[in-house]
Amino acid sequence: MTKIHAALIAIISLILTGSLVYGGLYLYGHSPALPKGTALAGWEIGGLHAEEAAEGTRARLAALASIPLVLTAQNGAEMKLTLKKAGIAYEAEDFLRSLGALTSGELLDRVRTRRSFPRRWELGIHLELSELKKRLSADWEQKSFGSPVNATRQITADDRVVYTEETTSFAVDWPALEQALRAAVPTRFKDPAELQALVIRLEIPLTVKDPPVTLKLLKEQGVERRIAQFSTSLGVSGPGRSYNVEAAAKAVNGTVLPPGAVFDYGKAIEKAQAEYGFREAPVIVNGKLQPGTGGGICQVSSTLYNAALHAGLEIVERRNHSLPVNYLPKGRDATFAQGYINFRFRNNTGKYLIIKTAVQGRSLTVKLFGTFPRNVTYSVESRTVEVLPPTDKYVSDPSLPKGGTRVLQAGKTGYIVETYITKFVDGKAVEKKQLSRDVYHAQKRVIAINRGGMSRTAQPEPPKKPLVEDGVKDS
């Protein structure tokens, strides 16, 4: 009997103990209050009902999002918006999710959640600048601070190189603005009434906005002064030829050559054709003058050639005319035949080079501006080393008396010319070299003859493919 009583007492004790333990766990796990010592972003919420804490959290998040942000600019402009519209978002999702776990689920899950519930919580603060960048856009910057203006370089009528400094403006310094925003926005909870009374004021940090072309950039290009000049006369050129010379000169004028760049006269002629067109004037076709389009354009290439020589520039491609020209000594000209013969030179000065050309009165002048030693000069001289007499060409003319002749075209003497360039330093010759050995072929004298049964008959020359110099091909 005693053993039975003891067993009953033990069972009842276990039941009571289990009930007490379960009851304690139930009360612990189902408590609506937050654990003591709990705080969210400085807001002490230990012992607060979970629902009250959730409502208070949402109210404070809404108050933070609606805090006014006033941005001011140097020009006095002011922009008002809320933190939310500025791209600042507050969130406490982890905390609110944990609150839900405290008051839902199985008993043991609630107990474990309450035992491991963190006592210190912080707000999540996210900054997305895309909306703010839409407001402080490039258009807003331009309206607020104006646009930067490039520095300029002008060459005056008296050949001075004059620089004008650039004008800067301002742009938003976005990294600095982001840093300032992060430092200024609240990170701790306060009473909603206090948050609603809060206003954040910030001056928009700015950075200087330079134009693409600055005074420093221009001066580093090294266009310091006029380094060479050469002129040729248009003489008695007719209106068509004068127009063509001026059109080609305008296409070349203002050309800027970086260091190492090659000037291509063929491209300048393409530009002149497209922008100005060419007129009829005598051109050279297979060594003979005849009507054509663009006559005179080689006066520009030839004048430019001589200016380049006086600046010590590297001549890449150049050939003399098939006939001597009247505006330059033999050996000093540079012809052009579209698609066959070009004139090119390289800017080997180590700095930028600007070409200025102009037709004034009856004179064409080419000027080069850049960097060049003041104590260095060049001299160019040509000499005829051989004279080429014209040969005779006979053509049949039955209208003449038997054995009779008549000169149809006078021949022209040809020349072989050597041209030399001498470099002077401080007025002393230090180097002399041959530039070219040019051949100006003699033109045949054309004679009509009636051989009248004589054994020799005039043989026609094979036709040549036309090569147009000092002009362009007709379109």
Per-residue pLDDT of the chain (475 residues; tens, 9 = 90+): 677 777 777 777 667 665 554 554 454 545 778 899 899 988 998 888 888 888 989 999 999 999 999 999 887 778 899 999 999 999 999 888 888 777 776 676 677 778 878 989 999 899 999 989 999 999 999 998 999 999 999 999 999 999 999 999 999 999 999 999 999 999 888 777 887 789 999 999 999 999 999 999 999 999 999 999 999 999 888 999 999 999 999 999 999 999 999 999 999 999 999 999 999 988 888 777 788 888 999 999 999 999 999 999 999 999 999 999 999 999 999 999 998 999 999 999 999 999 999 999 899 999 999 999 999 999 999 999 999 998 888 888 888 888 778 777 777 899 999 999 999 999 999 999 999 999 999 988 878 788 775 545 445 555 556 678 878 876 5
Question: In this structure, is residue 151 part of a structural domain?
Answer: no
Cβ within 8 Å of residue 159, ≥6 positions away: 225, 226, 367, 369
Question: In this structure, is residue 216 part of a structural domain?
Answer: no
Tell me which amino acid residue 160 is.
Answer: R
What is the predicted pLDDT for the residue at 106?
63
Q: Both 379 and 427 in a single domain?
A: yes
Measuring CA to CA, which residue among 367, 365, 358 is closest to residue 246?
358
Question: In this structure, is residue 67 part of a structural domain?
Answer: yes
Helix (H) or strand (E) holding 82: strand 78-82
Q: Both 185 and 228 in a single domain?
A: no
Question: In this structure, is residue 152 part of a structural domain?
Answer: no
Residues composing the chain: 475
What is the predicted pLDDT for the residue at 25?
44
CA 37 to CA 334: how far, in whole Å?
A: 96
Question: In this structure, is residue 149 part of a structural domain?
Answer: no
Q: Both 310 and 177 in a single domain?
A: no
DSSP assignment of 185-252 equals S--S---HHHHHT--EEEEPPEEEE--SS-HHHHHHTT--EEEEEEEEE-TT--HHHHHHHHHHHHHH
Question: In this structure, is residue 81 part of a structural domain?
Answer: yes
Q: Both 324 and 200 in a single domain?
A: no
Model confidence, pTM: 0.74
Q: Both 387 and 328 in a single domain?
A: yes
Q: Both 290 and 200 in a single domain?
A: no
Q: Which domain holds residue 233?
A: 221-469
What is the predicted pLDDT for the residue at 460?
54
Q: Both 200 and 228 in a single domain?
A: no
Q: Both 375 and 350 in a single domain?
A: yes
What is the predicted pLDDT for the residue at 1?
62
Q: Both 195 and 238 in a single domain?
A: no
Q: Both 396 and 344 in a single domain?
A: yes
Number of domains in the chain: 2
Q: Both 263 and 386 in a single domain?
A: yes
What is the predicted pLDDT for the residue at 271?
97
Q: How many CA atoms does the CB half-sphere of 294 hold within 13 Å?
A: 26
What is the predicted pLDDT for the residue at 73?
85
| Residue-wise pLDDT tens digits, 223-263 | 999 999 999 999 888 999 999 999 999 999 999 999 999 99
Question: In this structure, is residue 164 part of a structural domain?
Answer: no
Q: Both 192 and 225 in a single domain?
A: no
Strand order in the sheet with 314-317: 262-264, 344-346, 314-317
Question: In this structure, is residue 166 part of a structural domain?
Answer: no
Are 154 and 162 spatial neighbours (Cβ–Cβ below 8 Å)? Answer: yes
Q: Which residues pair with 149 in a beta bridge?
A: 167
What is the predicted pLDDT for the residue at 471?
81
CA 154 to CA 365: how far, in whole Å?
A: 18
